[in-house]
Amino acid sequence: MRKLIAILSFCAVTLSAGAQSLTITHLSETHSMVQLGGKDRYVMLPVQETAQEAVVKVLSNGREVYKANVSLAIDKTDYLVPLDLGEWNGSSILLDITMRQGRGVRRDPSDDVCWSEMTTVPALTYTNKEKKYRPTYHFSPAWGWMNDPNGMVYKDGEWHLFYQYNPYGSFWGNMHWGHAVSKDLIHWEQLGIAIAPDALGDIFSGSAIVDKDNVAGFGKDAIVAMYTSAGDNQTQSIAYSLDNGRTFTKYAGNPVIMAEDTPDFRDPKLFWDPQSKQWKVILAAGQEVQFYSSDNLKDWTYDSSFGLAYGNHNGVWECPDLVRLPFEGKDKYVLILNINPGGPFGGSATQYFVGSYDGKTFKCDDLPTVTRWMDYGKDHYATVTWSNAPDNRTVAIAWMSNWQYANSVPTTQFRSANSVPRDLSLIRKGKEVLLKSTPSPEMEALRGNPVQLALSTAPVELFDTPQRAYELVIRFNLPKKEDVTFVLSNETGEQVVFSYNAAVQTFSMDRRGSGTVKFSKSFAAVTTAPTTVGGKMELRLLVDSASIEAFGEDFCMTNLVFPASPYNILKMYGNTKADVTLYPIAK
């Protein structure tokens, strides 16, 4: 029992009560059956991250109803993950488990620690025990792996955030949609699994809308989600919810969109087109995006394609979105497109195209050779916007990681966080029209009492006791042709360097000495954005436990950092003086 308590204290999920009610039979060296005797809802599965994945099948009354790959612990348990059996409550449940390890010299399957440490519990509480790089004000899953934000939709005062989710380990796999809701875009309530894989495949990225006119016939104001069913090939499926996203029912006629000979065919983003008064979907299809239209969300007709030869094609096109934004008295359309690899600093990144859309076809205003990046950091991917956002707002959120190293960042029980939500707008810069991301105004509610700091060349200590989460607004007047550099560092000398370079008109962030960087050869990096340098300038830095998001007049830059302790010293090099407002953030 002592051992069990020690393990659980390392875990995000704790027992509330409950007795072990498992009967385990090893049928062979690699095949075991677990019979569940009690009424507990959750089986706690011991995970060892380095173990090969076992196949865990749930059999209900003798039929396979669910399957997941789980790295069941062999030598030691890193943490426990819950397998929720609530859906099959009342039926006779059997877990059929096949271990994949070549056992070599092992003789006895019951030696594996997973069998002695597997247990059941009636309820879960989330305690977020892994604190070091757990963000303070960015969304991260209570446990498990997260990638793309999915199905974002606003309804009845709630911002819904679904996400690519592996509930059984902190690596990519077993793709489900996880779910969280927020009333203020800051505080998120974790709601666990929303949509689970089925015989059509894993549940890859997609979107959700409110069917106000009940065109699908699922019910007025149903939330209708469309996602990619990732089986042997990729098809698009829909599911609906009549209880504000708490439960979903998959449409019996799935899949609703299929394509011949298109292996990368995914990430449908639904949107309403007021011109044709139809539902549309934009999705990635190889090296282009395709548009489809529908009157009932079930039957879809191909409309058009965009993208071949436009922008960057040095990777797979993924997670597109089309948004309408006002600009100089008219509407323009912005096509957001995520690409991996091919990003400006390696790996994944978000590009965009500004143009027009007539209800059928998107036309880009720029020449095909122009590539525009939405964020100039390394950790801004799978960016999509909320459907049905209030006040005609266009609010986007990005997954704050990069496929180059997402699976190896130094966290254990959870992996990945999202960017802060950002309101999008179009701005003019000379002859160009640029997409601007600004932290959503809700973020300002996070600000604690401001502290004013006058910064010249002497270093300034930010807090008496270093804090992990804060915002800096740095205002300065830079003489023409002058450079300026700001450095955030901690007591061990780990530092992030922010530089404006007048000669080449850029802003850059250097995280090579920012802390733990060696977990991937692609992590240590300097990222650079084009910007206008000189005159009155403002730099906004949103700092959290493991990330820095920089916002200037005409750029943003999102980068992960893993310092040993919080950065607490701000230093400036340059021929100017800066007024700094420091806002502590305590949530």
**Residue 407 vs 532, nearer CB to ligand FRU:** 407
Closest CA to 100 of 33, 43, 50, 31: 31
Distance of closest approach, residue 147 Cβ to ligand FRU, in angstroms: 5
* CA-based torsion, 29, 33, 38, 42: positive or negative: positive
Taking CB under 6 A as the rule, does residue 288 contact ligand FRU? no
C-alpha distances (whole Å) from 33 to each of 26, 44, 51, 115, 299 are 6, 15, 19, 11, 43
Beta carbon nearer to ligand FRU, 160 or 266: 266
**Coil vs helix vs strand at 117:** helix
Q: Which among 78, 148, 303, 379 is annotated as catalytic? A: 148
Is residue 289 involved in binding ligand FRU (CB under 6 A)?
no
Q: Hey, how many other C-beta atoms are within 10 angstroms of the C-beta on 572?
A: 21
- Contacts with ligand FRU by CB under 6 A: the residue count is 12
For the chain, helix, strand, coil in percent to 5 are 5, 50, 45
Active site residue 148: yes
DSSP 254: -
Q: DSSP assignment, residue 300?
A: -
**SS3 assignment for 474-517:** EEEEECCCCCEEEEEECCCCCEEEEEEECCCCEEEEECCCCCCC
Among 32, 71, 147, 418, binds ligand FRU (CB under 6 A): 147
Contact 532, 450 (CB under 8 A): no
Nearer to ligand FRU, 201 or 552 (CB): 201
Kindly state the smallest distance separating residue 324's Cβ from ligand FRU, in Å: 23
Q: Does 146 bind ligand FRU (CB under 6 A)?
A: no
| Residue 163 lies near ligand FRU (rule: CB under 6 A) | no
Which residue's CB is nearer to ligand FRU, number 8 or number 406?
406
> In whole angstroms, how close is the CB of 405 to ligand FRU at the nearest point?
14
Reduce the DSSP state of residue 82 to 3 states and report it.
Answer: strand
Give yes or no for residue 164 binding ligand FRU (CB under 6 A). yes
Based on the shown chain and the rule CB under 6 A, indicate whether residue 148 belongs to the binding site for ligand FRU.
yes
Our finding on whether 204 is near ligand FRU (CB under 6 A) is yes
| DSSP per-residue letters across 180-221 | EEESSSSS-EEEEEEE--BTTBEEEEEEEEEETT-TTSS-TT
SS3 179: strand
Phi-psi region of 255 (alpha: psi -120 to 50; beta: other; left: phi over 0): beta
- Under the criterion CB under 6 A, does residue 166 sit at the interface with ligand FRU? no
User: Going residue by residue from 357 to 386, which x/- string records binding to ligand FRU, judged by CB under 6 A?
Assistant: -------------------------x----
Structure tokens at 4: 């069990």
Max CA-CA distance within the chain? 77
Contact 454, 577 (CB under 8 A): yes
Chain centroid, CA 312 distance in Å: 22
Show contacts with ligand FRU in window 206-225 (CB under 6 A). none
Binding of residue 266 to ligand FRU (CB under 6 A):
yes
- Distance in Å, CB of 551 to ligand FRU, minimum: 24
Among 175, 239, 322, 560, binds ligand FRU (CB under 6 A): 175
Count the neighbouring beta carbons within 10 Å of the beta carbon of residue 298: 16
Read off φ and ψ for residue 156, nearest 5 degrees.
50, 45
Q: Which residues contact 385 (CB under 8 A, 6 or more apart)?
A: 152, 321, 323, 336, 394, 395, 396, 424
CB neighbour list of residue 488: distance below 8 Å, 6 or more residues apart: 495, 496, 498, 541, 543, 548, 567, 569, 570
Give the shortest CB-162-to-ligand FRU separation in angstroms. 12
Residue 318 contacts ligand FRU per CB under 6 A = yes
Q: Does 48 bind ligand FRU (CB under 6 A)?
A: no
Minimum CB distance to ligand FRU, residue 350 (Å): 11
Least spacing, CB of residue 317 vs ligand FRU, in Å:
9
Interface with ligand FRU (CB under 6 A), residue from 48, 77, 174, 228 = 228
Identify which of residues 205 and 558 has a Cβ nearer to ligand FRU in the complex. 205
Which residues within the stretch 49-108 sit at the binding site for ligand FRU (CB under 6 A)?
Answer: none
CA–CA separation, 63 and 187 (whole Å): 40
**237: contact with ligand FRU by CB under 6 A:** no
CA dist., res. 429 & res. 421, Å (int): 24
Task: Show Cβ contacts of residue 252 under 8 Å, excluding neighbours closer than 6 positions.
Answer: none
235 sits near ligand FRU (criterion: CB under 6 A): no
Residue 203 touches ligand FRU, criterion: CB under 6 A: no
319 near ligand FRU, rule: CB under 6 A: yes
Q: How far is the CB of 314 from ligand FRU (least distance, A)?
A: 16
**Structure letter (DSSP) for residue 104:** T
Nearer to ligand FRU, 119 or 235 (CB): 235
Work out how close the CB of 221 gets to ligand FRU at its nearest, in angstroms, rounded to a whole number: 27
User: Of the candidates 267, 288, 303, 544, which one interacts with ligand FRU according to CB under 6 A?
Assistant: 267
Q: Per CB under 6 A, does 290 bind ligand FRU?
A: no
Q: Which is nearer to ligand FRU, 164 or 411 (CB)?
A: 164
Binding ligand FRU by CB under 6 A: which of 71, 170, 205, 440? 205
Q: Closer to ligand FRU at the Cβ: 204 or 218? A: 204
- Least CB distance to ligand FRU at residue 109 (A): 32
User: Catalytic amino acids?
Assistant: 148
Q: Which positions touch ligand FRU (CB under 6 A)? A: 147-148, 164, 175, 204-205, 228, 266-267, 318-319, 382
